Structure 1
Amino acid sequence: MPLILIVEDDVTFSLMLTTWLKKKGFTVDTVTSVGEARRRIQQNPYNIILSDLRLPDNDGIVLLKWLKENQPAVPLIMMTSYAEIQTAVQSIKLGASDYIAKPLNPEELLNKIQELIKDTGTASTPAEQPRTGTVVSSPAYIEGKSREARQVYDYVHLVAPTDMSVLINGASGTGKEYVARRIHEESPRKNAPFVAVDCGAIPKDLAASEFFGHIKGSFTGAINDKTGAFVAANGGTIFLDEIGNLSYEIQVQLLRALQERKIKPIGSNQEIPINVRLISATNENLRHAIEKGDFREDLYHRINEFTIRIPDLKERKEDLLIFANHFLDQANSELHKSVVGFDNETIRIFLSYSWPGNLRQMKNVIKYATLLATDKFITRNELPGELIETPAVAPTKLKTLKDEEHERELIQAALQQAGGNKSKAAILLGIDRKTLYNKLKIYKLE
């Protein structure tokens, strides 16, 4: 089956187009930005690219120019509004195979795709070729289009070409390792190893061996020589996840290795030069750990030449449905299902829920719901209990309440039950967010 890549940041439109093309027998991948499109195109043998003209990180013309330089044989159809037809015509001059105006005429688009496939003679080959970086194997984190998301990736693009050490702060499940890998992939070290170490999973007495290696017989259980993570990552990037879990003794050894750029395997007298870039991550406040004496301040400054904070999912409501549809694509592929999307009530639940487990939790929730789904859309009935068991608020809704003192107490209770999430508190109170914000000002509860 021909393989098509859709580059479109309008998630609803992209989902509709994907569903329609799949029904016509095509295999479809979707991305929401030029940057992600470039990576997918390098990884997969696409027959056709369908690209929107206006995208969050750049425009379709930039993608077209890149495509003509790197994979000129792959045809691209530009999708554009009627107001941008002149620009679309310009794209033809720059090498686009065709363009089509929104709202799309499905049959017109199908004809254009079939003509291009016929011209290139690749109607049946792509599905037989090995694919990497598809929806199934792609990381559980994608770029969003919110201001918070753009700031994260602006920082990634800014720091990646340097050799600065980076500290990534973020709660569990927000995608810290994915961001670390993105930094590595956009750096001059991209063709060298990327080695990830989960510091929280290393037993204290084996940490030095994991980092620096050991020689056979150096301690009980050392039945073979072991290459440590720093030697394995030499020339590339080492990622230390949850670095705050390291013991004080290992922190001292790590600091020495970073300062001297040499390591010594356990039981060896030979020092090995190392050239690695360090990226660390933590879900705790290392400043507080320093104050308590649990983390060395000199090591903190060594690993923290540049900081990137990844916001919680609940802070990125604008991106929430982008992630949800991405995970739905993954779940459909893994479970061999064909669920189209989410009904309106499910979307409302998603938007009001606090997602304490962030992206990891969302991925699991959607996979669970997809497995249970018996129709085209995921409904409330397929969601796990933690999403639909809304904490009880006083039965009197705020919009019908007259007593101001009682109203103040009810707002405070709703905010507490919603974990400080104003959007969720407004839903519990039966009012819109704007009304809630006004009342917060009136009662000085901000």
Structure 2
Amino acid sequence: MKQILLVEDDLTYSRIVKTFLEKNGYAVQTCVKVKDAQQILNTNSFDLIIADFRLPDGTGMELLQWSKSKFPQTQVILITHYSDIRIAIKAMKLGAFEYITKPINPDELLATVKESLSAKASDGPKQTSSPKTEESSVAKSSYVIGSSAEAEKLEKHIQLVAPTDLSVLVLGETGTGKEFVSRRIHDLSTRKDGPFIAIDCGALPKELAGSELFGHVKGAFTGALDHKTGHFESAHGGTIFLDEIGNLSYEVQIQLLRAIQERTIRKIGGNKEIQIDVRIIAATNDNLILQSGDGHFREDLYHRLNEFTLQAIPLRRRKEDLEDFAQQFLDESNSRLNKSVKGFSSEVWEIFLAYDWPGNLRELRNIIKRAVLLTSGVLVEKDALPTDLYEPTAAGIGSQGGYSSSLSAGGDLPSPKDYKSKWVEQEKELIQKVLNDTKFNKSKTARILNMDRKTLYSKMEKYGLD
């Protein structure tokens, strides 16, 4: 029986989810704090962690990072409010298997749990990270060129650089499909018959990054019970994609620079030089020039990686391509969920076209997958979408369930002093209103207002809302 640790501070909600999962054949243990979860994980083995993002003593993100460094084989699903979408996407980059949004749909939760555990089973017991190779989720047929002017320009540059052996740096916001771009370069290169190995540098445990990339010999360090082949050696004759390159430690950056310059690697604890023939494509949403200026990223490594630069395009700037991407993700979701949804209603298209897509392609893919799961008819309808897509939160305090600040959208801008005074008054009124509506249920109030309980208590004391 698969073991699940559920970390949720809303006890009623936790009990409902626990009962539901147990009825579906899983063993579930619960706790309410990050510290409690860490203690439990240190003494028990779990296949999956399901954690709320907002917890009394920290966040699900902190637990995710800690668990991935200690127990990389344990999958993590993060629970968020939809307004936490940017945080959820960052969590995916740090190694979370998936995120689901509140209120949770039982079918969506169950499907995500099954998928995460299935993925864990296929990883194998000894693998400490999950490089994506030819069977990657970024399959050859998944790339959508698009018809917008910017998309055509990007494709032209890809076709220009692909046949060369130049190192490529792909820049762009989180979720813009940098791995799709990198895979496209590989597929159009002379290395297309060789391996394509994608590594998320942000998800590599810091102390094991060198071993994962370059391998180690038996006995090189505590826990090195056998020889290990690193990703660079595995990518020989092909392409290695280093996503979130800015997350590598300075020591590993030195090793990487040496590998690029000399075309050789040396395993951790070894003394033998191993020849490698690998093309490097790196990606980041960080400003590596600024990082090199403050000493966090080597400038010489930056110039070695940046022989040619490509810019992945945010979805909000390529709305002409939205239909192509939506159809691709619809077909993918139908296949994964064994559904036969044919398309989207006109109302859904209006919502898609009006939305800003802060999470870019990754957000679109997740929304479509969720919508397909919830759709029983031929077309995806509006009620299968998260309400935040068509009822956006107002500026200021995030809104949930219809609560929002009432800052005027027009008129002259107030002075900084007037603005601060008006904002404080509106914040006080909003907190008071939500407290009244929830009958002073502070846990529920904090969730509605998108703030942790410590912050809520502090503001209640500040405003005298007892």
Give the TM-score taking structure 1 as reference length. Answer: 0.57
Q: How far has the Cα of 1:201 moved from its partner?
A: 1.0
Deviation digits for residues 144-198 of structure 1 (CA, Å, limit 9, x no counterpart)? 1111111111111000100000000112221111211111111111112222111
**Contact 1:198/1:240 (8 A) holds in 2:** yes
CA distance in 2, matches of 1:281, 1:136: 15
Distance 1:409 1:325, change over 3 A: farther
**Contact 1:209/1:228 (8 A) holds in 2:** yes
**Contact 1:139/1:178 (8 A) holds in 2:** no
Equivalent residue of 1:231, what SS?
A: helix
CA distance in 2, matches of 1:406, 1:265: 63
Who is 2:369 aligned against? 367
Q: Which moved more, 1:301-310 or 1:195-204?
A: 195-204
Q: Which moved more, 1:331-340 or 1:230-239?
A: 331-340
Deviation digits for residues 399-425 of structure 1 (CA, Å, limit 9, x no counterpart)? xxxxxx946769xxxxxxxxxxxxxxx
**Contact 1:140/1:360 (8 A) holds in 2:** no
Structure 2: stretches of 5+ with no match in the other structure: 1-133, 396-408, 415-466
**Matches of residues 384-403 of structure 1 in structure 2 within 5 Å?**
384-392=386-394
Give, as a single letter, the amino acid of the residue that structure 2 aligns with 1:156: I
Q: How far has the Cα of 1:142 moved from its partner?
A: 1.6
1:302 to 301, 304, 308: 304
Q: How far has the Cα of 1:386 moved from its partner?
A: 2.4
Aligned length: 268
**Contact 1:141/1:359 (8 A) holds in 2:** no
CA distance in 2, matches of 1:248, 1:185: 31
Distance 1:136 1:198, change over 3 A: closer
Deviation digits for residues 212-247 of structure 1 (CA, Å, limit 9, x no counterpart)? 111111111000100111111112111111100001
Q: How far has the Cα of 1:205 moved from its partner?
A: 1.4
**Matches of residues 88-237 of structure 1 in structure 2 within 5 Å?**
141-237=143-239
Structure 1's consecutive aligned runs of 4 or more residues displaced over 4 angstroms after TM superposition are 135-141, 405-410
Equivalent residue of 1:220, what SS?
A: coil
CA distance in 2, matches of 1:175, 1:139: 14
Distance 1:384 1:304, change over 3 A: same
Who is 2:254 aligned against? 252
Give the TM-score taking structure 2 as reference length. Answer: 0.54
**Contact 2:138/2:180 (8 A) holds in 1:** no
**Contact 1:169/1:308 (8 A) holds in 2:** yes
Structure 1: stretches of 5+ with no match in the other structure: 1-131, 394-404, 411-446
Distance 1:353 1:144, change over 3 A: same
1:347 to 332, 346, 349: 349
Give, as a single letter, the amino acid of the residue that structure 2 aligns with 1:160: A
| Percent identity (aligned) | 56
CA distance in 1, matches of 2:243, 2:270: 27
Give, as a single letter, the amino acid of the residue that structure 2 aligns with 1:364: N
Give, as a single letter, the amino acid of the residue that structure 2 aligns with 1:374: S
CA distance in 1, matches of 2:138, 2:352: 23
1:336 to 335, 338, 353: 338
Distance 1:329 1:138, change over 3 A: farther
CA distance in 2, matches of 1:271, 1:144: 44
**Contact 1:248/1:294 (8 A) holds in 2:** yes
Give, as a single letter, the amino acid of the residue that structure 1 aligns with 2:238: G
Larger radius of gyration: 1
CA distance in 1, matches of 2:287, 2:204: 20
2:359 is the alignment partner of 1:357: yes
Who is 2:436 aligned against? none
Equivalent residue of 2:144, what SS?
A: coil
CA distance in 2, matches of 1:408, 1:157: 50
Q: How far has the Cα of 1:335 moved from its partner?
A: 2.4
Q: How far has the Cα of 1:137 moved from its partner?
A: 6.1
**Contact 2:138/2:183 (8 A) holds in 1:** no
CA distance in 1, matches of 2:138, 2:177: 17
Distance 1:235 1:141, change over 3 A: closer
Q: How far has the Cα of 1:210 moved from its partner?
A: 1.1
CA distance in 2, matches of 1:257, 1:155: 26
Deviation digits for residues 331-383 of structure 1 (CA, Å, limit 9, x no counterpart)? 22322323222222211110111111111111111111112123322221110
**Contact 1:216/1:223 (8 A) holds in 2:** yes
1:312 to 287, 311, 314: 314
CA distance in 1, matches of 2:336, 2:162: 32
